[in-house]
């Protein structure tokens, strides 16, 4: 397991489980977009391990683009006040767009990002997320592709951070309460 062994209370999804599920999602997207060239937009930094694996599982001539958002939240859970800190590099006008998120929690970040992307007039726009924390939703989110339904907890690993750390874990786990408190 590695450097975070002492910090992680339990592993929720191990690396093999994640890889299998991400492969499934990639094949599902490839089936849905056969004959088309969707733009896969993902959100820095949390979705980077996911997009690296997912993109290679989509057997289509996709394009990749990235946005970055910063949320102003006092704690580990963000407040939903969001700002775009990096925009798309290319136009998505009249393109089929698949937005890929690492986790949809309250849904506030996603709602902001979708509002922004819709103003660019894509031909279509759907959302995929690795983790869906449905129990915590504050605003509606229509999710076309979901990796895992996630019980209410704060997860780290496979892109997800606590204070910018643990993103490089190959699995997704939950930190021990004393690690989160210090
Ligand atoms: P939202 O509440 O749906 O707006 O989610 C906002 C952001 O909070 C996500 O994009 C993540 O950056 C972060 N977040 C939500 N849940 C978790 C988690 O379990 N671990 C790490 N980051 C999280
Ligand atoms: Mg974060």
- CB of 108 within 6 A of ligand 1: the answer is yes
Contacts of 31 (CB under 8 A, 6+ apart): none
Task: Map residue 139 onto helix, strand or coil.
Answer: coil
Q: Which protein residue has the closest C-alpha to ligand 1 atom 17?
A: 154
Nearest atom (ligand 1) to Cα of 153: 19
Contact 165 CB / ligand 1 (< 6 Å): no
Q: CB–CB of 96/61 below 8 Å?
A: no
**What separation in Å is there between the alpha carbon of 34 and the centre of ligand 2?**
33
The CA–CA distances, whole Å, from 44 to 28, 85, 100 equal: 23, 10, 10
| Paired sense of beta strands 39-44 and 63-71, if any | parallel
pLDDT tens-digit profile of 96-149? 999 999 999 999 999 999 999 999 999 999 999 999 999 999 999 999 999 999
The Å distance, Cα 173 to ligand 2 centre, comes to 15
User: How far apart (Å, rounded) are the C-alpha atoms in residues 39 and 33?
Assistant: 11
105 is catalytic: yes
What letters, b where the CB count within 10 A reaches 16 and e where it falls short, cover 159-176?
bbbbeeebbebebbbbbe
For the CA of 43, the closest atom of ligand 1 is 10
Q: Could you report the average pLDDT of every consecutive run of 10 residues in the chain (182 residues)?
A: 91 98 98 98 97 98 96 58 92 98 96 97 98 97 98 98 97 96 86
Atom from ligand 1 closest to the CA of residue 105: 3
Share of the chain above pLDDT 70, in %: 95
Global pTM reads: 0.94
Which tokens in the block code for residue 155? Answer: 């997860």
């Amino acid at each position: 397991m590695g450097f975070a062994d002492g910090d992680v209370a339990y592993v929720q999804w191990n690396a093999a489980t994640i890889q299998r599920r991400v492969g499934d999602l990639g094949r599902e997207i490839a089936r849905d977009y056969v004959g088309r060239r969707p733009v896969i937009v993902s959100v820095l930094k949390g979705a980077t391990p996911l997009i690296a694996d997912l993109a290679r599982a989509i057997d289509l001539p996709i394009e990749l683009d990235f946005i970055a958002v910063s949320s102003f939240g006092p704690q580990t859970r963000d407040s939903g006040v969001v700002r775009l800190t990096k925009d798309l590099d290319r136009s998505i006008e009249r393109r089929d767009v698949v937005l890929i998120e690492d986790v949809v929690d309250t849904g506030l970040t996603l709602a902001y990002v979708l509002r922004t992307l819709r103003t660019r007039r894509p031909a279509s726009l759907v959302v995929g997320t690795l983790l869906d924390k449905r129990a915590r939703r504050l605003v509606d989110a229509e999710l076309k592709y979901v990796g895992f339904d996630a019980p209410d907890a704060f997860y780290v690993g496979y892109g997800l951070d606590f204070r910018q750390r643990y993103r490089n874990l190959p699995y997704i786990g939950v930190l021990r309460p004393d690690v989160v408190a210090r």
